[in-house]
Amino acid sequence: MPTAHRIWQRFWFWFKSRKPQKGDLIEFNRGIYEHWAVYVGNGFVVHLTSADSNHSSHGSLGSRRTKKAIVERDKLSDVKQNSTWRVNNSLDGQHDPRDPDRIVRDALKLVGEEQEYNILTSNCEHFAKWLRNGIRVSRQLCME
């Protein structure tokens, strides 16, 4: 009979290695902050990126003092850069996720749109969780 530790190891391996499904939230670990995106299929994500970037940063809004962001569709591998990533649908236990097809359709409709950006109230995590769960929240700020 497997021990609790062994079961946890198996679960953790599955969790870390599973491929994203349409509508999943992708969390990129950038060191001092996390960047968030919505997986829309075929290796692409939709996410907020700086409106004043040259688009080479692929979502590095973390330290910018911008007040505008652009919704972009990019390859997950391009947004990843040198960071690690994982599927993180952590709000699903408290707020039911929307239908994956609806999440993807709504995310793709927003591509190219300029949006207000505020690190405290309207960042990439707020954007991604709003698309999936219908609520704007950012756990990394620990203020909500």
Tokens standing for residue 31: 């060191």
Is 124 marked active-site? yes
Residue 63 pLDDT: 46
Residues of the chain with pLDDT under 50: 13, 55-57, 63, 143-144
35 is annotated as an active-site residue: yes
Q: So where are the chain's domains?
A: 20-141
pLDDT on residue 51:
78
Q: Which of 47, 58, 95, 126 is catalytic?
A: 47
Q: What is the pLDDT of residue 13?
A: 47
Which residue among the candidates 35, 55, 95, 126 is catalytic per the annotation? 35
Active site residue 95: no
CA–CA dist 129, 126 (Å, integer): 5
Q: How many Cβ atoms from other residues are within 10 Å of residue 83's Cβ?
A: 15
Q: DSSP string covering 6-38, please? A: HHHHHHHHHHHHPPP-TT-EEEEE-SSSEEEEE
Give pTM, 2 decimals: 0.80
Just give the CATH number of 20-141.
Answer: 3.90.1720.10
pLDDT at 50: 83
pLDDT of res. 42: 97
Q: What is the pLDDT of residue 140?
A: 77
Beta-carbon contacts of residue 94 (< 8 Å; ≥ 6 apart): none
Residue type for 63, please? Answer: S
pLDDT at 2: 62
9: which 2 tokens?
């190891």
Catalytic residue from among 55, 58, 124, 142 = 124
pLDDT of residue 67: 87
**Nearest alpha carbon to residue 67 among 51, 56, 53:** 51
Confidence at residue 139, expressed as pLDDT on a 0 to 100 scale: 84
The C-alpha atoms of residue 8 and residue 66 are separated, in whole angstroms, by 41
